[in-house]
Amino acid sequence: MADYGLCDDTVWLTRPTAADLDAIVACCREPSIGEWTTIPVPYRREHAESFLTDIVEPGWAAGRPTWGVREAADGPIVGMIGLHARIREQTGAEIGFWLAPQARGRGLMTRAVRLVCDLGFAADGLGLERIEWRAMVGNHASAAVVRRVGFRYEGLLRLGGEQRGRRRDHWVAGRLATDPAGPADGWPADV
C-alpha cells in the first residue's frame, strides 16, 4: 500500500517513523493510555521500536495502515489510529486508537476516525464493507468517538479480550459501508 497521509486541516494523520519514537514513548507512558490498551506497562523505547517494525511496517504492506495523529502537518504525534486485520477477512477491519491527554476534548479523534473510515470504505481506498470497534468496558471516551461517527452498538463480549494476562469484558460496535456517517442511535445509556 502506498504510504500517504490523511488531513482535514485540523488533524493530520501520517505514518509514524523512527523520528517519532520519543513522542510515542512519552504518550504511551501516560497511565490513561495503558489503562485502555494492550500496550506493555511500563512502556519503554524498545516497545515503540518493536511497534514500528512489527505492527506499522507490515500493516502498511498488507493494506492495514497505522497513522500517527498530529495537530499540525509537522507537529509531534499526540495519538495513534489504525485499521487492523481481522482473521480471514478481506473486506473487514478493526479500528483502534488512542489520544494523549493534552489533545483530548477538542474533537481530534472524532475527526481522525472519520478520515480513516472514509478511506476504509471508499472504493478507491481500501474498499472495506465493515469496520469494527472494540473497547474494554468502561472506556466511555472511545465509545463516544465511534458513536459520533456512525458506529452502531452491537453488544457486550464477556471476557472478550485479554490485557496483560487478564481477560476483560469488551463492548463491540460496527459500521458498514452503507451506514450513515453521523451519530448513531441505539446505544445503551451506560455505554
What is the structure's pLDDT at 42? Answer: 97
Domain residue spans in the chain? 6-176
| Gyration radius of the chain over CA positions | 16
- Cell numbers representing residue 41 in the block: 506497562
Instruction: Give per-residue pLDDT as tens, 13-56.
Output: 999 999 999 999 999 999 999 999 999 999 999 999 999 999 99
Helices (H), 51-133: 57-61, 108-121
Share of the chain above pLDDT 90, in %: 94
CA 111 to chain centre: 12
- Predicted TM-score (pTM) of the model is 0.95
For the chain, the distance separating the N- and C-terminal CA atoms, rounded to the nearest angstrom, is 35
Is residue 175 classed as helix, strand or coil in its secondary structure? strand
Asked whether residue 61 carries a pLDDT value surpassing 70, the answer given is yes
Q: Report pLDDT for 114.
A: 98
User: Could you tell me which CATH number the domain at 6-176 has?
Assistant: 3.40.630.30
Contact 67, 80 (CB under 8 A): yes
Residue 87 pLDDT class (50, 70, 90 cuts): low
pLDDT digits (tens, 9 = 90+) for 154-189: 999 999 999 999 999 999 999 999 999 999 999 999
**Per-residue model confidence (pLDDT) at position 2:** 77
Share of the chain above pLDDT 70, in %: 99
Determine contact, residues 36/98, Cβ cutoff 8 Å.
yes
- The Cα 179–Cα 190 span in angstroms is 23
Residue 90 pLDDT: 84
Return the percent helix, strand and coil in the chain, to nearest 5: 30, 30, 40
Provide φ and ψ at 109, rounded to 5°: -70, -35
List phi, psi (to 5°) of 11.
-130, 140
Mean pLDDT along residues 98-126? 97
